């Protein structure tokens, strides 16, 4: 049997003020084409379908559109679960009806944890899709007085499942969790505040493949068949070096899995650029991907006027600028206590040298003094 494993779509994500829905639609078109070519028996989406519990309307339309195409047009069953960003109840809407149409949505944790059964030439495969749930919810729905954290909660669910799983039947687990030792990024929201959020990979014993969501970088956890597919797009600048992909898995008659990652190419990449402003503007001229989402680390030691405006002339999607070499020195110059003590002339002279990198000349200082004097005179006459 062949299946596609993807996760962390985060539909409706806003990245530094930019709505990513169009970029998400673009990459999901690509994913749909990959599914069309691969002709899998099922597509698995391992949570964080939406970026927030109440997603924007166009994110809901996009999901509706993608799922309709996959299930109705391409003709592939889809199994999806809620992640920690999703609202279990909202995602569950219509789930019992949709299951009859090959769309298997697991929003709220169900006490029965019944598998979706998919047949291939070698017989049935049980897919256990476990939506993300807080430990108290697991205690309430599944039972288990010793549930304290995510590890013991998921352990309880898996014991519940494996106790009923026929030994000779192949099985896949779909879950949204943070496995110990995983490589994280800046865009995974912590699963618990304070308590431990990680689970041991050993708890997945007995499943032939574990399709995980939550970590945004594709990776395996402990063993090859315990996989994170990663997110479909880079959702933070900390992911700039990631290769985003979907995972295609070929499972044989014994449950052994061959794993392949197919790269996704976004409409706009997320990149980090470093250099002095002049350097960056110069190099940008031969850059073919000026629409990418850019974070700039400016290495100028002197303050630069209107850096964002000038960068956006070449990189319209410059979203963030970092000034590691300036921060420390300007912080001293701009300490509020100093401001109160400085005269206007001193303040302006300090501003002038920060912006131009040079001291004011005698005639410039005089010109400034004349302007201030003229303003004062006007003020006096007005009162």
Helix (H) or strand (E) holding 157: helix 150-162
CB of residue 176 vs Mn ion: minimum separation in angstroms? 6
Window 123 to 142, contacts with Mn ion (CB under 5 A): none
- Report CA-CA distances (Å) from 376 to 133, 284, 379, 383: 67, 46, 5, 11
Residue nearest to Mn ion (CB): 214
- Report CA-CA distances (Å) from 340 to 168, 321, 330, 343, 346: 79, 29, 16, 8, 11
CA angle 94, 115, 170 (to 5 degrees): 150
Q: Is residue 214 near Mn ion by the rule CB under 5 A? A: yes
Q: Is residue 84 near Mn ion by the rule CB under 5 A? A: yes
Q: Is residue 88 near Mn ion by the rule CB under 5 A? A: no
Tokens of 313: 């002339």
CB of residue 215 vs Mn ion: minimum separation in angstroms? 8
What phi and psi, each to the nearest 5 degrees, are found at residue 154?
-70, -35
Full DSSP string of 179-246: ETTPPP-TTSPPSSSSS--EE-GGGGTT-SEEEEES-SS-EEESEEEEEE---SS--SGGGTT---EE
Applying CB under 5 A, the span of 158-166, 212-220, 248-256, 271-279 interacting with Mn ion comes to 212-220
Residue with Cβ nearer Mn ion (136 or 190): 190
Residue with Cβ nearer Mn ion (139 or 214): 214
- Which residues neighbour 255 within 8 Å (Cβ) at sequence distance 6 or greater? 170, 171, 208, 209
Applying CB under 5 A, the span of 12-20, 79-87, 252-260, 353-361 interacting with Mn ion comes to 79-87
Applying CB under 5 A, the span of 31-39, 77-85, 276-284, 335-343 interacting with Mn ion comes to 77-85
**Residue 154: strand, helix, or coil:** helix
CB of residue 213 vs Mn ion: minimum separation in angstroms? 6
C-alpha atoms less than 13 angstroms from C-alpha of 350 in its C-beta half-sphere: 15
CB of residue 214 vs Mn ion: minimum separation in angstroms? 4
Q: Is residue 231 near Mn ion by the rule CB under 5 A? A: no
Given a contact cutoff of 8 angstroms between Cβ atoms, the answer to whether 132 and 47 are in contact is yes
Applying CB under 5 A, the span of 206-214, 279-287, 303-311, 372-380 interacting with Mn ion comes to 206-214
Residue with Cβ nearer Mn ion (175 or 277): 175
Given a contact cutoff of 8 angstroms between Cβ atoms, the answer to whether 106 and 112 are in contact is no
Q: Is residue 244 near Mn ion by the rule CB under 5 A? A: no
CB of residue 15 vs Mn ion: minimum separation in angstroms? 16
CB of residue 72 vs Mn ion: minimum separation in angstroms? 28
Q: Is residue 48 near Mn ion by the rule CB under 5 A? A: yes
Applying CB under 5 A, the span of 40-48, 57-65, 89-97, 147-155 interacting with Mn ion comes to 40-48
Q: Is residue 83 near Mn ion by the rule CB under 5 A? A: yes
Per CB under 5 A, residues contacting Mn ion are 48, 83-84, 214
């Amino acid at each position: 049997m062949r299946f596609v494993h993807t996760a962390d779509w985060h539909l409706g994500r806003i990245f530094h003020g930019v709505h990513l829905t169009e970029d998400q639609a673009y990459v999901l078109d690509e994913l749909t084409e990959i599914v069309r070519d691969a002709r899998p028996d099922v597509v698995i989406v391992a949570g964080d379908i939406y970026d927030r519990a109440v997603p924007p309307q166009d994110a809901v339309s996009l999901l509706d559109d993608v799922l309709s195409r996959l299930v109705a047009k391409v003709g592939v069953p889809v199994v999806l679960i809620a992640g920690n960003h999703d609202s279990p109840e909202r995602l569950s809407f219509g789930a019992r009806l949709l299951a009859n149409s090959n769309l298997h949505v697991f929003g709220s944790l169900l006490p029965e944890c019944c598998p979706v059964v998919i047949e291939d030439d070698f017989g049935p495969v049980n897919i256990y899709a476990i939506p993300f749930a807080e430990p108290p919810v697991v205690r309430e729905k599944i039972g288990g007085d010793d549930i304290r954290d995510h590890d013991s909660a998921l352990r309880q669910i898996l014991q519940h499942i494996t106790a009923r799983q026929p030994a000779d039947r192949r099985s896949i687990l779909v879950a949204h969790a943070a496995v110990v030792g995983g490589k994280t990024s800046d865009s995974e929201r912590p699963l618990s505040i304070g308590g431990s959020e990680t689970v041991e990979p050993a708890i997945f014993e007995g499943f032939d493949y574990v399709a995980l969501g939550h970590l945004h970088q594709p990776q395996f956890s402990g063993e090859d068949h315990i996989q994170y597919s990663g997110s479909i797009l880079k959702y933070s600048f900390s992911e700039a070096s990631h290769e985003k992909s979907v995972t295609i898995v070929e499972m044989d008659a014994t449950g052994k899995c061959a794993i392949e990652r197919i790269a996704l190419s976004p409409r706009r990449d997320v990149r980090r650029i470093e250099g002095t402003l002049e350097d960056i503007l110069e190099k940008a001229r031969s850059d073919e991907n000026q629409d990418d989402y850019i974070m700039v680390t400016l290495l100028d030691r002197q303050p630069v006027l209107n850096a964002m405006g000038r960068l956006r002339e070449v990189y319209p999607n410059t979203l963030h600028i970092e000034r590691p070499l300036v921060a420390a020195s300007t912080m001293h110059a701009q300490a509020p206590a100093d401001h109160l003590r400085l005269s206007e002339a001193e303040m302006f002279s300090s501003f002038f040298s920060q912006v131009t990198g040079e001291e004011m000349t005698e005639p410039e200082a005089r010109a400034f003094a004349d302007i201030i004097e003229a303003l004062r005179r006007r003020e006096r006459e007005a009162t």
